[in-house]
Structure 1
């Protein structure tokens, strides 16, 4: 390393340009008068005395009188310790910057990319505990064990919780007991293929991380209804609709509660075709104003873009993937009710309760 480069580094360490130049010059001279140091460096004669006193205050040199002001470099131990300490602080700062970049503040970003699954699980735990309406979650048995306290808390608060369990790669973790599932969810199913972790909370938050066999470990945390809607269909088609039922607290007799309009339509379509009278309560909000609503009335019609099943079979979910709604007639009028993401209907339903079937 040449002298100019050493001067630049000392400037980075906090010395002024003149102080760094004078100190490097003095290291080469050993000890010298102020005048000789000024002549051997680029420090102007009028500034040399202030520069040397500044170096002495910082502990780099000591001055003494010998006919005129002289200086010599201090034992470098203290200087070296200071420089090494600064290097460690720079290294620590670099690590902190990298860490903060990998986990941006969730409150300030709608989309957060994180490096560790633990971060995704921690955020999912927080969101589940604060849920007010519904949680859809796909996870492994060990992840269920980690999140079961949060799930139980939300379940006790009346949140509708659907759980899909799936295995870990090359691992035979036992499936949670019926008792454990009953405390944590409304329904649970099992998919026998390893899958990514996913949690959808109140139609707004999505927590996602690839399964253990993925090349890279990362996670995505998103606060966005459109993004959550896309993952809702992934959950319904890949993790829910066709898989084995492990546990269900649902009743086949009223009152029956639904947080998904399309599941409700599948169940009540045969009843309407038989001429039954269906009384229902719809909770949600007006699509035009966002105002919360709760109204009770009679379901008089259902509509969807797909083709109805024949021979009394349940209409496949894919036939309900397009526009789907029900018509509710109340004392105040007749209203169209859509599901998640409704735009054309009067209401978007967050919860539908079939109160009676006559």
Structure 2
């Protein structure tokens, strides 16, 4: 590296042009009178004392009295350590820029592909802590403890947490105890097969990563209702509906809360011929977008695009349009589920108040 390149590099490291010039000159001259340093460098005579004083304060040189004021380079250990630290910071900054470029935050895009599972589980933890209504989780026992505090906090806030937990060999030996599950979820099921990591929050956010045995290492972060709806059905049909509960805190007698309208329809449709089912619906007015609450008696269930699914235990049988008609004091109101468009209300929570 020639003199000019060294000077430019020192300037990049934080020295002023005069300081870099003077320091390189001192290195070349060894111990020399200050007046000679001024002559050999491009630093003006009136500035040389201030420049050398600043370099001495920074540890680059030291000055001493002989016949006149002399300057010499200080111990190199401190200088090289400082430069190596700066170089390390530039390297770390480069790596961080590359990581952020490869793994954009969810706010930058409705769907993001990331390369590290750590990014997926970190976002899952944040999403769960912000949940207001429902969390669906499919994870292995090895990741349970990582999300346990967030799941417990959500459960304590009254969020419905559905936990599908899988074990590497399908055994129950390493599953959390019922007492542990009671703290972190509303219901838990044991899937006896290796499964992807999935977290779905409030019908809008999804975190997904292939199971640990997959040859593909990537993750998907979603902040979008439409895409999340696809993952929601994946969770219901493969991670949840076909597996038996190992813990539940859900009531079998009124009041009974439902987050998904399809489970409500499945349970109440066989009762309508012989009983009056009173319900409260909390949701959104599909015309105005405002929150609303209605109460009344169910008069009808709406199930289309399916071959007589009423009474079926498998929720996949209710894959078409599903709705409720509620007789209120103001007349009948049609209620739909997630993404309702033709109904008056999109239901967020359905409570069966009584069955008479």
TM-score range, shorter-chain basis?
0.7 to 0.9
8 Å contact 1:34–1:49 — kept in the other structure?
A: no
Cα 1:160–1:34 shift into 2, 3 Å: closer
Aligned match of 2:186: 186
CA distance in structure 1 between the aligned counterparts of 2:332 and 2:107, rounded to whole angstroms: 41
1:88 deviates by: 0.7
Aligned match of 1:349: 347
CA distance in structure 1 between the aligned counterparts of 2:316 and 2:172, rounded to whole angstroms: 32
8 Å contact 1:190–1:245 — kept in the other structure?
A: yes
Aligned match of 1:234: 234
Aligned match of 1:54: 51
Cα 1:49–1:168 shift into 2, 3 Å: farther
8 Å contact 1:205–1:225 — kept in the other structure?
A: yes
Which secondary structure does the structure 1 equivalent of 2:194 belong to? coil
8 Å contact 1:141–1:173 — kept in the other structure?
A: no
Aligned match of 1:327: 325
CA distance in structure 2 between the aligned counterparts of 1:80 and 1:205, rounded to whole angstroms: 52
CA distance in structure 2 between the aligned counterparts of 1:253 and 1:216, rounded to whole angstroms: 45
8 Å contact 1:161–1:184 — kept in the other structure?
A: yes
Cα 1:61–1:324 shift into 2, 3 Å: same
Cα 1:56–1:158 shift into 2, 3 Å: closer
Cα 1:52–1:352 shift into 2, 3 Å: same
CA deviations on 1:20-68 (whole Å, 9 max, x unpaired) are 3343334333455667656655x27xx14413541243123537686xx
Cα 1:265–1:133 shift into 2, 3 Å: same
Aligned match of 1:339: 337
CA deviations on 1:296-348 (whole Å, 9 max, x unpaired) are 112222324422337x7517544533433222221112222111122332111
CA distance in structure 1 between the aligned counterparts of 2:207 and 2:99, rounded to whole angstroms: 16
In terms of mean alpha carbon deviation, does 286-295 or 217-226 score higher? 217-226
TM-score (norm 2): 0.79
| Aligned positions of 1:164-243 closer than 5 A | 164-168=164-168, 174-215=174-215, 220-243=220-243
Aligned match of 1:263: 263
| Runs of 5+ unmatched residues, structure 2 | none
CA distance in structure 2 between the aligned counterparts of 1:181 and 1:57, rounded to whole angstroms: 64
8 Å contact 1:299–1:328 — kept in the other structure?
A: yes
CA distance in structure 1 between the aligned counterparts of 2:94 and 2:282, rounded to whole angstroms: 46
1:107 deviates by: 9.4
| Runs of 5+ unmatched residues, structure 1 | none
TM-score (norm 1): 0.79
1:219 deviates by: 5.0
CA deviations on 1:150-198 (whole Å, 9 max, x unpaired) are 4344434433221111123799752233343344333222222211222
In terms of mean alpha carbon deviation, does 210-219 or 134-143 score higher? 210-219
| Aligned positions of 1:1-358 closer than 5 A | 1-30=1-30, 40-41=40-41, 43=42, 47-51=44-48, 53-59=50-56, 60=61, 62=63, 71-74=70-73, 76-77=74-75, 80-92=77-89, 94-95=91-92, 98-99=95-96, 102=99, 117=117, 120-121=120-121, 124-125=124-125, 127-168=127-168, 174-215=174-215, 220-272=220-272, 274=273, 276-309=275-308, 313-314=311-312, 316-358=314-356
In terms of mean alpha carbon deviation, does 326-335 or 222-231 score higher? 222-231
Which secondary structure does the structure 1 equivalent of 2:163 belong to? strand
In terms of mean alpha carbon deviation, does 256-265 or 162-171 score higher? 162-171
1:95 deviates by: 2.5
1:350 deviates by: 0.9
